[in-house]
Amino acid sequence: MNRQILKNILSNGLSFITNMALMLALTPYLVDCLGVMAYGFIPLAAIFTSYIGIITESLTISINRNLTKAFQSNNRNELSEIYNTSLITVILVIVLLLLTMIYPINHLQDIITIPSSMVYEVKILFILLITSFLFSLIGAVYSVAMYAKNRVDLMQFNNVLRNIVRCICIFCFFYYDDISLISVGYATLVGSLCSVLFAYFYKIKLISYMKFDIRYFRLDKVQDILKMGGWLLINQLGFVLFMKVDLLIVNKYLGPEQSGLYSIAIQFNDVLRIFASIISGVLGPAILILYSQNKIDDMIKLTSGFVKFLSLSISIPIVIICVWSKEILNFWMGSSYISLSSLVWILTLPLVINIGVQPLFAIQVAMNKIKIPAILNIVFGFFGIVSSVLLITKTDLGFYSVAISSVIMLTIKNAIFTPLYSSYILNVDKRQFIYVHINTLIYTFISIVILLQIKNEYVITDLYDLILIVLLSAIVLLLFSLVFYTKNERDKFIKFIKEKA
């Protein structure tokens, strides 16, 4: 398993670099071609798919868990039953969701603020993005073969394939003068269809006997999937309240242009979360397999190491982005966007806490201990929305009020509850993951001081200078992070790399 984990980490790193490069190239290109106001509707459309995703992602997580357990037990009959029941259930859910989206799309201009000249174009964009998302759900069921076999490397390659196809299609459509939000929607749909075909191909290759047969549909399996999926649904709803409502609030109270600016600043947040999910995503299948094999001690050791590694590792790009935010915005988007630097700090810096806990969610899913976290997600998410609306209507903070409110609520939950609850269900020292937070905060504070000193001594005159100083900063912070690992942890890591090299 260790060899495959290393392979997954390397492929995930390559996936992150590729997807970040595509984002860095695509965002200014779309803003230049469409304008900042029109561009703002693309992440807004993604928010609507997130609302649908709170239902569908809950199902896919539950399906992954049940299928992986069946695969580990070598029970082909049960595997076929879960697979076919899952596929049919997802198809029925897709049909239901398509029907329920008819009214919101028809009245979209009453839900978000849209200039009258753009109503038709925005509606078509939403339809295409939602359709492409629903197609990807079928691909998610096919992808369980890769998940059950711990082939996260293939899953990440599929993710890269989808994004590359999407970007190529956008550039082709725009090159032939079809510059519109509708073209972006069609490009996204084509990318999703390619991803589904890739997942289907590897489903056949990895688990050839897992085939569609309606006779294997079992109603009791639907109940098993939905039983866990119900609390996952609530948990995902809380996540959407935390992460996906802020842009909608900005659009509703400040207008589409301000939401377009906000969506640019939050790109760094999104990229870092993708990076973290790529790293922690390696842990999901491994944790579930260890739990299915009742190797609890191995599961605890693996999780503990990952939490510390991810917390310190993710702090490096976070600190670099914050300290050099003005310079990055200047060369990436243009000098007129430098004013977003403060917003980047507010949205990005708290991620040193909020991202570091991501590996702990794999434990909660594997052990089916998601009821209490789901309830807390809803409670904190609700208070985050209320405080955002109050601040944006009662103060002159503008979109800063939304950023501050959502960040505070999420950070309180992840700084206190998530580490304590995870320690409780794992039956380990309650302070174990709190110590990781303290370690990370000390490292982050000192790292900011170090980079600010470098910034005072180093004058950036062009993009080459910026790239050079970012690389230098990364090397310095990486070497400095080694101080925060124990000698035993460093020795284990070096031994792990040598054994798998």
**pLDDT tens digits, 265-324:** 888 887 787 777 766 666 666 676 777 677 777 777 777 777 888 888 889 999 999 999
Final residue belonging to a domain, choices 222, 238, 254:
238
Q: At residue 340, what is the residue type?
A: L
Total tally of structural domains belonging to the chain: 2
292 and 403 co-located in one domain = yes
Tell me what pLDDT residue 244 has. Answer: 62
State the Cα–Cα distance between residues 325 and 331, nearest whole angstrom.
10
**Is the torsion defined by CA of 106, 108, 110, 116 positive or negative?**
negative
CA dihedral 259, 261, 265, 266 (to 10 degrees): 20
271 and 226 co-located in one domain = no
CA dihedral 456, 461, 467, 473 (to 10 degrees): -10
In a domain, 249, yes or no: no
Q: pTM higher than 0.85, yes or no?
A: no
Question: Look-up: residue for tokens 């505070």?
Answer: 408
433 and 309 co-located in one domain = yes
Task: Give start and end residues of each alpha helix (H) in 395-431.
Answer: 399-412, 418-426
Number of Cβ atoms within 10 Å of the Cβ of 116:
7
Tell me what pLDDT residue 168 has. Answer: 92
216 and 285 co-located in one domain = no
Question: How does the average pLDDT of the chain come out, rounded?
Answer: 79
**Is the torsion defined by CA of 183, 189, 191, 193 positive or negative?**
negative
State the Cα–Cα distance between residues 430 and 419, nearest whole angstrom.
8
Instruction: State the residue range of the domain holding 136.
Output: 1-238
Tell me what pLDDT residue 280 has. Answer: 66
Tell me what pLDDT residue 500 has. Answer: 41
CA dihedral 386, 390, 393, 396 (to 10 degrees): -120
Residue 260, sorted as left (phi over 0), alpha (psi -120 to 50) or beta, turns out to be alpha
302 and 174 co-located in one domain = no
Q: Mean per-residue pLDDT for 182-204?
A: 88
* Cβ atoms of 262 and 43 closer than 8 Å: no
201 and 317 co-located in one domain = no
Would you say residue 493 has pLDDT above 60?
A: no
